[in-house]
Amino acid sequence: MSARSKARKRALDAIFESEVRGLAPDGTLAQRLNVPDRPMNDYTVELVRGVAAHRAEVDDVIAQYAEGWTLDRMPAVDRNVLRIGVFEILHVDDVPDAVAVSEALALVRELSTDESPGFVNGILGTVVRNKQEILASITPSS
């Protein structure tokens, strides 16, 4: 498993735990950063902070493309993997979109339901296809 794959898994753990505890997506990040025997990868921190900073926008994108599903009805793992994937696709320029999708699928294959890979792939694939339109709608024009 690559360093970035591990970073994504740790980001998912932190975001998932924050959600379960009723905190903002970065709610457990400070606690995890203060554990000296478990250093946190810089990319994990970037993902958690990025999802927290763009939460409303990311959730709106997911809701727009999750036909027939509300965020609340989704399995928690799927919802939070989608948040990371959408954030990476829209805001992390050094990660190819195909890699963001592939990594999200790997996480849900390992951690979620049998139907999750198809569900997550469908949403993220649509986000990738509509990326320029989405970015234009969230980026204020000059």
Domain ranges of the chain: 3-138
pLDDT at 99: 97
Least confident range from 28-37, 78-87, 91-100: namely 28-37
The percent of residues in the chain predicted with pLDDT above 70, rounded, is 97
Which of the four pLDDT bands, split at 50, 70 and 90, describes residue 142?
A: very low
Model pTM above 0.85: yes
Which of the four pLDDT bands, split at 50, 70 and 90, describes residue 79?
A: very high
Torsion of CA 108, 110, 114, 117, to 10 degrees: 30
Cα angle 15-20-24, degrees, rounded to a multiple of 5? 50
| CB-based burial label for 69 (10 Å; 0-12, 13-18, 19+) | middle
Q: How is domain 3-138 classified at the CATH fold level?
A: N-utilizing Substance Protein B Homolog; Chain A (1.10.940)
| Whether residue 39 has pLDDT greater than 80 | no
- Locus of tokens 């849900």: 108
- Locus of tokens 């902070």: 49
